Amino acid sequence: MQAYDRRDANSILSYLQSKAEEISNGQWTDFSNGDIGTILLKLIAYMADMNNYQIDKGLSELYIDTLHERESALSLVKLIGYEPKGYKSARVSIDLSLEPGYAVENGTVIPRYSVFTDDSRNISFCNVKEQQWYANKAEFVVFEGNYSSETRVMSEVDENARLYLNAPNIDIETMTLSIAGDVIARVDNVLTDISNQLKYSVHISSDSKMYIQLPSYWKDLLSTSSSLKIEYLLTQGATGNIGSHILTKVYNTINAGIQDRYIKVDNNLASTGAADPESIEEIQKGAPMYASTMNTLVTLEDIQLAKYEVDGVSDIIALDYNTPESGLVQPADAYKVNVYVLPTDNDYIVDPGGQLTDVGKALKEFIDERRLTSIMVEYKNVEILTPEIKIEAYINKYDIRADSLASDIKNIILEKYDRSVFKIGEGIYSSKLSKQILDEINYCNYIEVQLPDDSYIPTRMQFLEVTEDNIIVNVVEEW
């Protein structure tokens, strides 16, 4: 009997020759290349080798460690509920301000999918949510990609409540789905949503096509003639990251009541987050890890990464009671984590009465759904500090800009140390602040900045907030 691991053409030919000799009672002994029987045996061995190759290849696609085809990987990992990550747009925070002499009313809307670009207009970043001007400034996150949209009809939804999209290179975080002008909420998986409300999720099919998944009961809520609009950004993926100070212009009007050329744009930091879809190798690593944790938050880093998943959260610090440097005492009842959260606006996670706010409830729901049952999480607000900043600014006595110097300095400080960009654990140093002011105000001769103890560095649970009320500027006119 042929050994199961000897399946190549040469091994098969040797086996066939031995069987031919055996069956012929030793009369077939000529296995030279010119023998017609040998030619037939070689043909059979070759065909068997090819069949074995195809069988082996097919079998290898049934196991995560040995597969080679992306279609096999996508089909296989769906059995454990793992969804490989798709395209991710680069994202970065930008600052908008107006040229001197121009102003807009507070609350003026910056529409969704406004386009911000570089000097040569080769790069395109867009905001995916409406933003507003305040004090002639705005700061928000934009995503790399070119705007695109599809207008579809509900009759195109198939029997599995799926609507396939026309492009694969979409970051789902940039997508907006609206029906009759109403924006529909997106969830991770609409098939596990128990709200009985019309929501949707986005997935990738086994043949790498992106589709929108609707709840099976969508026909109870909408007619097949209803139209829907799908808006999104077509991203470059991993090649879309940019450095700091690249975005400088508004490409299309953002309805501020002024021309785009009078709007100053800048990204102070390099962008992050750009990625192509997970490779087969990444899927082979990620799927077993997912299966072992079953989509739970296991590490402190897992909890801290929730800041990217929950709206209204700017930053999270998770401290383990078991970590000596935390200074915390481990309770006897369970493994415990303190979660310190910085919201993106003025709302707290925990209100003064000790109750979770709406943002806090959203974060709690996200963590509760994914954490291990043995973990106890306590939610706390990061302490916000407002130290007084005193500044002596010197200017020539006859300079007509002396009257505006104080307000110009305050505007620079408020821009550089706005709470949405000034992170936990960083500090303001008088020399650094002085240099930033002098770099931008060339008519100011000299700056002295007085801070508590000359400089102030918050602890990791504190956040330094600078407001107009805690900046005192004394303008000194000198000869």
Predicted pLDDT at 96: 93
Do residues 295 and 81 touch, judged by C-beta distance below 8 A?
yes
Confidence grade of residue 453 (pLDDT, cut at 50, 70, 90): low
Reported as a single tens digit per residue, the pLDDT across 249-272 is 998 766 667 788 889 999 988 888
- The arithmetic mean of pLDDT across residues 201-226, rounded, is 90
Predicted pLDDT at 421: 56
Reported as a single tens digit per residue, the pLDDT across 60-69 is 888 888 888 8
- Which one of 3.40.50, 1.10.1760, 3.40.1350, 3.30.300 gives the CATH number of domain 296-381? 3.30.300
Q: Does 394 score more than 80 pLDDT?
A: yes
Half-sphere exposure of 202 (CA within 13 A, CB side): 23
Q: Does 362 score more than 80 pLDDT?
A: yes
Between these two residues, 407 and 260, which has the higher pLDDT value?
A: 407
Weakest mean pLDDT among 76-80, 187-191, 198-202, 334-338: 334-338
Q: Does 326 score more than 80 pLDDT?
A: no
- The arithmetic mean of pLDDT across residues 369-373, rounded, is 77
Predicted pLDDT at 329: 63
Predicted pLDDT at 169: 93
Confidence grade of residue 352 (pLDDT, cut at 50, 70, 90): confident
Exposed, middle or buried by CB within 10 Å (0-12, 13-18, 19+), for 157? buried
Q: Does 170 score more than 60 pLDDT?
A: yes
DSSP string, 62-102: TSTTT---HHHHHHHHGGGT------B--EEEEEEEE-TT-
Half-sphere exposure of 267 (CA within 13 A, CB side): 29
Reported as a single tens digit per residue, the pLDDT across 295-311 is 788 888 888 878 777 87
Confidence grade of residue 151 (pLDDT, cut at 50, 70, 90): very high
Question: Cα–Cα–Cα angle for 86, 92, 94, nearest 5°?
Answer: 150
Tell me where in the chain the CATH 3.30.300 domain(s) lie: 296-381
- The arithmetic mean of pLDDT across residues 443-468, rounded, is 76
- The arithmetic mean of pLDDT across residues 391-419, rounded, is 86
Do residues 119 and 176 touch, judged by C-beta distance below 8 A?
no
The token pair at 126 is 């867009």
The token pair at 146 is 């070119």
Do residues 344 and 305 touch, judged by C-beta distance below 8 A?
no
Under DSSP, is residue 408 helix (H, G, I), strand (E, B) or coil?
A: helix
- The arithmetic mean of pLDDT across residues 188-194, rounded, is 83
Which residues 6+ apart lie within 8 Å of 157 measured at CB? 163, 214, 218, 224
CATH 1.10.287 assigned to 147-234: no
Under DSSP, is residue 282 helix (H, G, I), strand (E, B) or coil?
A: helix
Q: Are strands 313-320 and 263-266 parallel, antiparallel or unpaired?
A: unpaired
Reported as a single tens digit per residue, the pLDDT across 32-57 is 877 888 888 889 889 988 888 888 88
Confidence grade of residue 393 (pLDDT, cut at 50, 70, 90): very high
Beta bridge partners of 4: none
Q: Does 424 score more than 60 pLDDT?
A: no
End-to-end CA gap in the chain:
107
Tell me where in the chain the CATH 2.40.30 domain(s) lie: 147-234
Reported as a single tens digit per residue, the pLDDT across 99-139 is 898 888 888 899 999 999 998 889 999 999 999 999 999 99
Predicted pLDDT at 126: 95
Taking all residues of the chain, what is their mean pLDDT, rounded to a whole number? 84
Predicted pLDDT at 382: 82
Backbone angles phi, psi at 368, to 5 degrees: -60, -35
Between these two residues, 363 and 326, which has the higher pLDDT value?
A: 363
Predicted pLDDT at 138: 92
Q: Does 331 score more than 80 pLDDT?
A: no
Q: How far apart are CA 219 and CA 3, in angstroms?
A: 58
Confidence grade of residue 192 (pLDDT, cut at 50, 70, 90): confident
Predicted pLDDT at 474: 93
